[in-house]
Every structure is written in C-alpha cells, then in structure tokens.
Amino acid sequence: MIKATPREQIEQLKLGTVDFIAESELLKKIEKSVATGKPLSVKFGADPTRPDLHIGHTVVLNKIRQFQDFGHHVNFLIGDFTAMIGDPTGKNETRPPLSPEEIETNAKTYAAQIFKVLDPEKTTIVYNSHWFSKLSPADFIRLSAQYTVARMLERDDFTKRFQSHTPIAIHEFLYPLCQGYDSVHLKSDVELGGTDQKFNLLVGRELQKAYGQADQQCVITVPILEGIDGVNKMSKSLDNYIAVVDSPKDMFGKTMRVSDQLMMRWYELLTDITPAQLAQLKTDLKEGKKHPRDTKVNLAKFLVKRFHGEAQAQAAEEEFNRMFVDKGLPDEIPLIEVFPTTEPVGICTLMTQVGLTETNSEARRLIQGKAVEMDQVKVQDDKLKLDLKSGMQFILKAGKRKFAKVVVK
Amino acid sequence: MIKATPREQIEQLKLGTVDFIAESELLKKIEKSVATGKPLSVKFGADPTRPDLHIGHTVVLNKIRQFQDFGHHVNFLIGDFTAMIGDPTGKNETRPPLSPEEIETNAKTYAAQIFKVLDPEKTTIVYNSHWFSKLSPADFIRLSAQYTVARMLERDDFTKRFQSHTPIAIHEFLYPLCQGYDSVHLKSDVELGGTDQKFNLLVGRELQKAYGQADQQCVITVPILEGIDGVNKMSKSLDNYIAVVDSPKDMFGKTMRVSDQLMMRWYELLTDITPAQLAQLKTDLKEGKKHPRDTKVNLAKFLVKRFHGEAQAQAAEEEFNRMFVDKGLPDEIPLIEVFPTTEPVGICTLMTQVGLTETNSEARRLIQGKAVEMDQVKVQDDKLKLDLKSGMQFILKAGKRKFAKVVVK
C-alpha cells in the first residue's frame, strides 16, 4: 500500500481522467478514510454477457488499481440481473437469457482477467441479482419514480434515437435506474467508468440522494481507448483490439503496428508514465533524441510485461527482432485474412488474391526472377500449391518492398 | 337476462358510445359466446382512493349493465396495487399509501354504490395487488419492454406535459402498463371506460397481443358527463355533481336546476331512452307539444327511481312541488353559501350580503313595504336578527322576482 496524503491521492487519481465529480467531495471522503482507517468503497460494473477484456478496459482498471494501491476497496459488480432477463422483448432469439451457471462461468473468466490488474485482496465480486431478486414490484415503481422522462432523454444516445424516431422501449429507461440502484445498495463512495458511462454513473449519484444517503458517490470517467486502427474505439466487433489474454507475441506485434500518434495516446492511457515524463518523451521524439521505433518497442514490452511478466516481455522482443528486424522485414506488414481451402491453391493465385500482384502472370514472372519469399525462404517453383488450413500464417514478400502477412481463418 | 341475437346485442351496446374498437371483433366474440354459452369477460377498473361515485360514473356502469343483461360477466377491478404504493416519490405527504384495511373499506363502499346499477350475480370484484404482488422485478422489466417511450408520449396528457416541460416521472409510464397487464391477467374480452381512458384501454389490448393472447380485448368508451353547471365534467372537486348516495330530495332538486340543453344530454347518457325516442322528444319540445319543465321532472324522477326506487321518486316530486311549484317559487334559485356567525346578524345585512339588495337601506325599504319573505313567510321586522348555525337553509324572496337559497356552511 502506497502511503500518501489525501491531497497526493487526489493528484494521482486525477491523472488521465475526463470527469472528476467532484474533487472537493472526494478529498473530504479520502481525508475521512485516512482519519478513520476505513477504506473507500469503489464501484465498477461489468456486463457478464461479454467477459473478454481487451486492453481498452484496462484504462479504467488501472485507475481503480490506483485506489487499491492507496488502500481502498473495490466492489467489482457483475450485472447479472439484467443478463438473466436477456432480451425482454422476446424478439431477439440470438440474445437468450444467461443461466446462473453461464453467469458464474463468465464471472470466473472475468476474475482471471481483472486480477492481472486489480488486487484480489482488495476486491469483492458482487452480483446485483442478489438484491434485485429481493425487490418487490412496489419497490421497483418507487425506484422509477425518482427520475423523469425528460432527464432520461438527455442521455446522448436516447436523445439521438428519440429525435430520429428510433424506438426506445420503456425498459431501457429502467436499466440506468437499476445501475444507479446498485450504488444505493452498495453505498458506493466512488464509481468509475468510460466517458460513455457518465450519464449512468450520475444517475447512481442522484439516486443515492433520493434514497436519503448523506454522501453521494463521486463519479470518475476515463477516456475510451482507440483501437489499433487509431480511428475507432477499441472493440472486439471491430477486430481492432488487443485482448488481455493475447499471447506475448501477438500483444507485442499488434502494438508495434500502431501509428506513432496512437502510440503516444497509449503511453498516456495504458502505462504508468507521469505527465512530466510524457511531455519529456514527446520533446525527445520531436528533437530526434529518441527514435519512434524504440519508443514503440518500450510500449510493447511494457504491455507484455504487465499481462505476462518480465521474461515474456523480453522473449517477445527477441522473437520480434529475429522475425522482422534482423531479417529486414518492416515493422508494419498488412495482415490479410483468407479462408481455408478444400483443395490446394496455387502460389500465383494466392499472391494476386492477397494483393501482392495485379495478375497471376506478374506473380509467375516474379517467382521465376527469384523475387518472392515465403517466411524468408525463396519460392523456387511457380507451380507451388499451398494447402491452406485454418490457423496457418506466413509472410509473403514480393519484390523488394511488398509484404503480406497471410492468416488463414 | 335479455334474449338477443349477436347483431341485436351489438346495436344496443353501440348506443351512446364514442369509441367501439372493433365492432367486427366484438360481433365474433358475442357469436362465439352465444354458440358456446360462455359469457364474455368484461373489465372495468376503478381507483380505490376515491370511492365516491357520482351519476357521471353511471354512464359507463349503465353500459356495463347492458352487457350483464345480455348474460355477460363483469370483473370490477379495484386498482389497489398502485394505491398501496401511494405517492412513490415520497414528496407528497398528503397522499399516503392506503392500508389493506382502508382499501377493503373503500371496496365495500364501491360495492354498495355500483350495485345500484350492476348485477351482483354477474360481477366479480377483483384486486390487482393479487397478481402484481407475485410479479418479480424481471417480470416488470419484461412488461415495460413491450412499449416504447415515443408511443407512451402520444397520450394526450403526457404530450402536453412533455411539450410544456412539466416533469413526468418514469413510474407514470409504468401505470398504464400495469393497467394493461390487468387485461392480460384477466384475459378480458372487453374493457370499458370514459373517453379519457381510451389510451390506457388500448395499451391493454396491445399488451394482450404482446403476451401472445390470440384474442385481444375490445375497447369501448363512453362520453364524460358534464356536471350540473353544464360546462365542466362532473367532478367532486368542482362541486357540480350528483352523488349516487345523494338524498332523493337533493337528487331531484339538483336535476331540476340543470339547463334545458344539458337536460337532453343527461337524457341521452343517463336514461334508457332509445335514439328514436330521444329524437321524438326533441321534436316535441321544439313544437311545444311537451313542456321543458315536465320533461325535466321526468328526468329527475327517473334518476331518483334508479337510485332510490319508485316510491322515493314520487315523494321527491311531491315535496318539490310543495316547496316550489305550489308556492310560486321558480325552479332555479341561486344557492348562496354563508358561514355561520358567532353573533346574530341583521336581516338587512344578510340580504345585501347574499346579493338580493344593493344596500342595507334598500333591504329596509323592501321589508317595510312587506315585499320580503323568508320560507314563504313575510318578514315583518327590519331589525330581525338571525342566528346562522351550520346546516341551516332557507329561501329569501325580495320583491316579486328575486330569490336566494341561503345555506349556512
């Protein structure tokens, strides 16, 4: 546990956040905590239907870990109550209710991942079905009486849907109230989330007041991390993510592929760099005192070390060097996914398919000119047939500068 | 029980209604009922917080009675579930939750009144707390998923409040859904209400569909009756009502005070007059074949007979004649309410106060000219003092045409 004055805690906790509501209140809470020795109750909620964490999630987990390092306690809330309902309209058959067993399995998957960042000794995993199953219909109506339709429609996505006449079912208004009621039940001192959760977190704060709690939770939001494409938010469905459980090799390789600009953003959000160090790094890069590639290697090593340890970080770097640097491969090779084939496919056809050549005859000429390599080995035969099986991957090089990493789905 | 073909039932039931959704469906239901001997399930809901029925309520009760006369069964629903919640915001201390005992008392008060119109043999009194207390929060969320925010905001009063930025609490969206769920639970074939209930009744119809019921309830609305002022809807708070439990004398007297125009409306909505008879009556009045006063007496007698029986109707007419007609009093005398006095008040002061004279000296001159009567007795003394005690009432006549009925509060 890090010894720190309330003011020092605040300064550290503020770093990298977007909303910090409200500093004065949190300072008072921390002062009281320091005086009484009673840790703050920090809440973070997760949806048990998607237990695969990517490093975007770790932005908020890092912030929560800071609270733990200062001695505070975390309630990691599994929102299983609504997950057990599934799609309440009954129209979406692809979103069946989760069984208690599935939720338990997902919760365990979560635990395995979050404890790469969080301190298990200072974390309680709680399930909101425990209190919601005890609520009566009358309690539910009382809960929904605490908020108005107009204020709920102020939430960004509701505003947009309402204005564009996209239906909002009434139960969707109940979900933020349920999430807020979790804070009432847990008597949370602080709740954290991404900036997209700001509205919901504030509902919790207001409901605590409506339910007569003297202190309301502070609300802290952190930025949403961009994915490896540098454009969209990191998400599994956009396939621009690094999973917390990705192999050291993948984690290292994917990080090396991000743009220099995104690299700085990741430094800011994913590492423990201080604002002063970050400013210095930017200056050094600008003045050529540091090389972007080395800086990116350091970031990649940092991430692998965090999730897989020091030895793996070292090994990943060495493998990367062996694969790319030592053999003259560029850092960024376009990744091309292809489907497995039932019959072997010709090398020339494949090269054209993955965009290395315009035509099969161009491919043939290059092979005959000894200008094509597969995993650093020269291709000798332009009649070569490849049996593409799921999971295979290799690097094709055509001429001096064209590369493609072929991944068979 | 009245023997009638399905088509005859429909024609009779349609009379005097505003919405009749949908005739073809109701015809099919009635045909099936006639064929199988199974009565239709007719729903009517009432709010147990205000069990005082006035004759405005009997417009819908009369229509429901017609269903019973055709052999159908009525579920008279006491909406005690929400009444037991009271004001869910907890802000309105004047609207405390009703206890089960209070609800039971109010239900008995209802029963005593509705069975002046409905057939107790064909009526079941049901309480929606019986099924709502068994609903889980998850059931509640499923219920609220069946309706959209936009559609709920189409309800007239919600539209107005939303546009004028008057807060709508979210639980207010749940109440129409609860009312609709009652129809799901009861598998109602028909629900009736005033025109102001149309939206809520249609929600029931739609929820039955959403919950997979093959047949949905038909929705019948009846006009809202104007009160004795002929302007506003009859309501207790506007003091323009005739209570179902009003004395024969009051019921007769209040009816005699309504305008000739309102009289025709009451004939249409409160009596069993047929459209043909109503048209004939209008013609007769227009051509002078019938006198408005006699027509109004018939209406008054009809109402007293309905709620108090034939003998009371006769007696009320006779008393009315003795009081007004035989003694040359007009049918309509303005009623003036005054407060009890701690000291006796002078007759001249009172006359001016109730608007019979402009000044006390005008009153004195009239008394001295033997032109003032109190309950048909000449006032001899302009120094007369009256001890106005609560409950007293008497008629003052000043000159030949000025009257006031003084009622001490």
Question: pLDDT-derived band of residue A92, with 50, 70 and 90 as boundaries?
Answer: low
Question: pLDDT-derived band of residue A328, with 50, 70 and 90 as boundaries?
Answer: low
What percent of chain A has pLDDT above 70?
95
Question: pLDDT-derived band of residue B50, with 50, 70 and 90 as boundaries?
Answer: confident
**Residue B43: strand, helix, or coil:** strand
Q: Beta-carbon neighbour count of residue A403 at 10 Å?
A: 17
Query: What is the count of residue pairs from A and B with beta carbons less than 8 Å apart?
Result: 114
Q: What are phi and psi of A124, to 5 degrees?
A: -115, 130
Across B5-9, B161-165, B376-380, least confident range: B376-380
Cβ <8 Å between A82 and B146: no
The CA distance from A206 to A189, in Å, is 13
Across A40-49, A303-312, A327-336, A367-376, least confident range: A327-336
Q: What is the pLDDT of residue B72?
A: 96
The residue to which tokens 């376009």 are assigned: A334
pLDDT over 90 at A216, yes or no: yes
Q: Is A95 on the interface with B (CB under 8 A)?
A: no
Q: What is the pLDDT of residue B325?
A: 64
Q: What is the pLDDT of residue B328?
A: 61
Q: Is A140 on the interface with B (CB under 8 A)?
A: yes
Residues of chain A neighbouring B136 (CB-CB closer than 8 A): 133, 137
Q: In what order do the strands lie in the sheet with A335-338?
A: A335-338, A402-408, A393-398, A372-374, A377-378
- Segment B148-172 shows an average pLDDT of 90
pLDDT over 80 at B97, yes or no: no
CA-based nearest residue to B106, from B148, B140, B76: B76
pLDDT over 90 at A180, yes or no: yes
Partner-chain residue, chosen from A88, A133, A141, that has the shortest CB–CB distance to B141: A88
Across A26-35, A127-136, B377-386, least confident range: B377-386
Q: Beta-carbon neighbour count of residue B206 at 10 Å?
A: 16
Cβ <8 Å between A169 and B150: no
Question: pLDDT-derived band of residue A336, with 50, 70 and 90 as boundaries?
Answer: confident
More confident residue, A86 or A181: A181
Q: What is the pLDDT of residue A97?
A: 75
The CA distance from B338 to B406, in Å, is 7
Cβ <8 Å between B174 and A82: no
Q: Beta-carbon neighbour count of residue A366 at 10 Å?
A: 21
pLDDT over 90 at B74, yes or no: yes
Across A292-306, B66-80, B235-249, B296-310, least confident range: B235-249
pLDDT over 80 at B239, yes or no: no
- Segment B348-357 shows an average pLDDT of 90
Q: What is the pLDDT of residue B75?
A: 96
Q: What is the pLDDT of residue B304?
A: 93
Question: pLDDT-derived band of residue A86, with 50, 70 and 90 as boundaries?
Answer: low
State the smallest CA–CA distance between residue B57 and chain A in angstroms: 29
- H helices, E strands: number in chain B: 18, 13
Question: pLDDT-derived band of residue A94, with 50, 70 and 90 as boundaries?
Answer: low
Nearest chain B residue to A163 by CA: give it.
Answer: B150
Partner-chain residue, chosen from A147, A169, A177, that has the shortest CB–CB distance to B148: A169
Question: pLDDT-derived band of residue A338, with 50, 70 and 90 as boundaries?
Answer: confident
pLDDT over 80 at A113, yes or no: yes
The CA distance from A3 to A5, in Å, is 7
Helix ranges restricted to H, A211-247: none
More confident residue, B92 or A225: A225
Cα dihedral across residues A59, A62, A67, A72: positive or negative: positive
- Segment A363-373 shows an average pLDDT of 90
Q: Does the global pTM surpass 0.80?
A: no
State the smallest CA–CA distance between residue B179 and chain A in angstroms: 14
Q: What is the pLDDT of residue B324?
A: 67
Residues of chain B neighbouring A173 (CB-CB closer than 8 A): 144, 149, 170, 173
Q: Which two tokens stand for residue B249?
A: 């004398």
Q: What is the pLDDT of residue B85?
A: 72
CA-based nearest residue to B339, from B250, B406, B240, B254: B406
- Segment A130-136 shows an average pLDDT of 89
A22: cis peptide before it, omega within 30°? yes
Residues of chain B neighbouring A177 (CB-CB closer than 8 A): 170
Cβ–Cβ < 8 Å for B67, B190? yes
Q: What is the pLDDT of residue B13?
A: 92
A279: cis peptide before it, omega within 30°? no
- Segment A63-82 shows an average pLDDT of 92
Q: Is A147 on the interface with B (CB under 8 A)?
A: yes
State the smallest CA–CA distance between residue B94 and chain A in angstroms: 17
pLDDT over 90 at A68, yes or no: yes
Q: What is the pLDDT of residue A90?
A: 61
pLDDT over 90 at A208, yes or no: yes
CA distances from B178 to A58, B140, B183 (A): 42, 9, 9
pLDDT over 90 at B208, yes or no: yes
What percent of chain A has pLDDT above 90?
38
pLDDT, mean over chain B? 87
Helix ranges restricted to H, B271-341: 275-286, 292-308, 310-320
Question: pLDDT-derived band of residue B327, with 50, 70 and 90 as boundaries?
Answer: low
3-state helix, strand, coil in chain A (%, to 5): 45, 15, 35
Cβ neighbours of residue B215 closer than 8 Å, sequence gap 6 or more: B25, B29, B189, B208
The CA distance from A398 to A378, in Å, is 10
More confident residue, B39 or B315: B39
The residue to which tokens 């006779």 are assigned: B318
The CA distance from B117 to B99, in Å, is 28
- Segment B400-406 shows an average pLDDT of 83
Instruction: Characterise B339 by phi-psi region: left (phi > 0), alpha (psi -120 to 50), beta (else).
Output: beta
More confident residue, B392 or A8: A8
pLDDT over 60 at B94, yes or no: no
The residue to which tokens 């917080």 are assigned: B49
Across A3-7, A54-58, A232-236, B36-40, least confident range: A232-236
- Segment B140-168 shows an average pLDDT of 90
Q: What is the pLDDT of residue A300?
A: 93
Question: pLDDT-derived band of residue A184, with 50, 70 and 90 as boundaries?
Answer: very high
The CA distance from A143 to A132, in Å, is 12
- Segment A245-260 shows an average pLDDT of 87
Question: pLDDT-derived band of residue A240, with 50, 70 and 90 as boundaries?
Answer: confident
Cβ <8 Å between A142 and B85: yes
- Segment B329-335 shows an average pLDDT of 70
Q: What is the pLDDT of residue A87?
A: 65
Question: pLDDT-derived band of residue B93, with 50, 70 and 90 as boundaries?
Answer: low
The residue to which tokens 């429609």 are assigned: A153
Question: pLDDT-derived band of residue B77, with 50, 70 and 90 as boundaries?
Answer: very high
Residues of chain B neighbouring A84 (CB-CB closer than 8 A): 138
The CA distance from B128 to B131, in Å, is 6
Question: pLDDT-derived band of residue A374, with 50, 70 and 90 as boundaries?
Answer: confident
State the smallest CA–CA distance between residue A212 and chain B in angstroms: 11
Q: Write out residues 61-90 of B within 8 Å (CB-CB) of A.
A: 81-82, 84-85, 88-90
**Residue A406: strand, helix, or coil:** strand
pLDDT over 80 at A111, yes or no: yes
Residues of chain B neighbouring A100 (CB-CB closer than 8 A): none
CA-based nearest residue to B398, from B321, B335, B370: B370
pLDDT over 90 at A65, yes or no: yes
Cβ neighbours of residue B260 closer than 8 Å, sequence gap 6 or more: B285, B292, B296
Q: Write out residues 150-209 of B within 8 Å (CB-CB) of A.
A: 150, 152-153, 162, 165, 167-174, 177
- Segment A318-344 shows an average pLDDT of 76
pLDDT over 90 at A391, yes or no: no
